[in-house]
Amino acid sequence: MINEVIKPDIPYILSETTQIAYSKFKALIQKIFSLLKRNKKEKNIKEEFYDSYMDFARKLDEEGFKNESYDYMAICAMYYDLMDRPAELINHEGFFNDLFKAFDELLSAKINNLKEYDSKYDEFLLYCGKMQQYYYTHIAIPSEYYDRDVLNEITNHLLGD
Amino acid sequence: MDKAFFDTCLLIAYVFSINSLHLKSESAFNHYSEYFWSSNVVEEFDRRFYKKQKNVRSFFNDLERYLESPNQEFYRPHDLINFALKNYTDRKKDDAKSSVEPFWNRYVGFESQILFDAMKNAISLCLKDLSIDSNRNKSFLESIMQTTPQRTDDYPDIDLMLKSQGVKDADRSITLDGHDFACNCKSPIDFVSFDDECYIGAKNVELLCFNSIKGKYDFNAS
């Protein structure tokens, strides 16, 4: 658990509880990288990360940032997946820092300049999409359940004709 | 060696396995030996790919955010179906409901109910595999497509004709990219569009340099 007092560190755009949840999450990311670099293990850190990112995702959704919540979850899902491979996670510290920074800027744009938000969002979607393509093509390892027919069936249902 | 210039709809159907259109897109790829796209198609394809990828993930993301809320220890398929029924309407409700069974059978198995942690894990793995699958398809597609040279002519007369046929801005640019490539290519080039408006509009403009213009009805879904 993080016991120090958490201060919001990005432009104030959300309710106080959501802002604090986001700051806690970001502090946790730093803590995980720090632990990994010192080769230290902490019990349940992966669960703590999951709970923290899901907490912020729920709060974002509840406050009307549904679309942004999906994008944030897509970034966190990659991080969560790579937590099982600590050496790879450290190697990709810059990769994740860039993604979280881009997400910060997107949130800031939403509150600061709504007129430019749509083009900023398209830019973010392309950037985040390219990063996901790199991750899922070169880094991620399929699960033991990977089956193209099943995945096609699920995709068919969720996208329709 | 048959060559064709493809539009975005066909490529999206190829990558995402969207029912009958996917089989038709496979049939189109089997019919030709060289495939072309322009930078306009690449840009539109990327944009639509990432939006669709997000749509596929959204049901499972919604589920993840909801899971702890009911605060229950065990989860059954019925709980996931109930979630779909309560949170979506119309078509999206049916689509979400239908995806529960293949997900449960593959990622959970024969268990009739599972603990929260196992449920959380099953969703994470499914989301990862879905992303790996679609991104691998995208990367493969990028490896077999050839990009045409950048068009420098605006072809205002043809553009006007396409506009009068109801072809939208983005589709007109793409059609003109293909036309420019076909005019400057020594071998015949077909234009294949799975967008009905674009296909019919292009069919009605005689000045286009294509060898042939084909739509989704020209390819079998089997």
Show Cβ contacts of residue B143 under 8 Å, excluding neighbours closer than 6 positions.
none
Chain B 17-56, CB below 8 Å of chain A: which residues?
17-22, 46-47, 49-56
Question: At residue B181, what is the residue type?
Answer: F
CB–CB contact A61 B52 (8 Å): no
pLDDT average, residue stretch B202-219: 96
CB–CB contact B136 A154 (8 Å): no
Helix axes B116-144, A66-82, angle to 10 degrees: 90
CB–CB contact B65 A57 (8 Å): yes
Mean pLDDT of chain B: 92
Nearest CB among A61, A70, A122 relative to B47 is that of A122
pLDDT at residue B95, as a whole number: 81
One DSSP character per residue, A90-124 reads HHTHHHHHHHHHHHHHHHHHHHH-HHHHHHHHHHH
Q: Quote the minimal CA–CA distance from A137 to chain B in Å.
A: 6
pLDDT average, residue stretch B121-142: 96
pLDDT in tens, A79-130: 999 999 999 999 999 999 999 999 999 988 887 766 788 999 999 999 999 9
pLDDT at residue A137, as a whole number: 97
pLDDT average, residue stretch B11-16: 92
Q: Which range, A3-12, A147-156, B196-205, is most confident?
A: B196-205
Round to whole Å and give the CA distance between A4 and B31. 64
CB–CB contact A58 B65 (8 Å): yes
CB B175 within 8 Å of CB B167: yes
CB A93 within 8 Å of CB A33: yes
CB B208 within 8 Å of CB B182: yes
CB B60 within 8 Å of CB B123: yes
Show Cβ contacts of residue B211 under 8 Å, excluding neighbours closer than 6 positions.
B182, B188, B189, B190
pLDDT at residue A35, as a whole number: 93
B31 alpha carbon, distance to own chain's centre: 19
Chain B 105-124, CB below 8 Å of chain A: which residues?
105-107, 120, 124
Phi, psi of A135 (to 5 degrees): -60, -50
**What residues of chain B lie within 8 A of the CB of A154, using their CB?**
56, 99, 102-103, 126, 130
CB–CB contact B135 A152 (8 Å): no
pLDDT average, residue stretch B123-138: 96
Residue A25 has pLDDT above 80, yes or no: yes
ipTM of the complex: 0.89
Q: Distances in Å between the alpha carbon of B65 and those of A15, A55, A85, B71?
A: 19, 8, 25, 12
Structure tokens at A160: 């329709």
pLDDT average, residue stretch B61-89: 86
Round to whole Å and give the CA distance between B130 and A151. 6
CB–CB contact B57 A129 (8 Å): no
CB–CB contact A161 B20 (8 Å): yes
**What residues of chain A lie within 8 A of the CB of B128, using their CB?**
77, 81, 136, 140, 142-143
**What residues of chain B lie within 8 A of the CB of A150, using their CB?**
102, 105-106
Nearest CB among B17, B20, B68 relative to A152 is that of B17
Round to whole Å and give the CA distance between A57 and A69. 5
pLDDT at residue B218, as a whole number: 96
Nearest CB among B61, B105, B130 relative to A73 is that of B61
Round to whole Å and give the CA distance between B191 and B36. 10
Domain locations in chain B as residue ranges? 3-38+148-218, 56-141
Q: CB count, 10 Å around CB of B154?
A: 11
CB–CB contact A137 B98 (8 Å): no
Phi, psi of B192 (to 5 degrees): -120, 120
Round to whole Å and give the CA distance between B35 and A7. 54
Residue B80 has pLDDT above 80, yes or no: yes
Residue for token pair 């189109």:
B28
pLDDT average, residue stretch B87-99: 83
Q: Quote the minimal CA–CA distance from B211 to chain A in Å.
A: 29
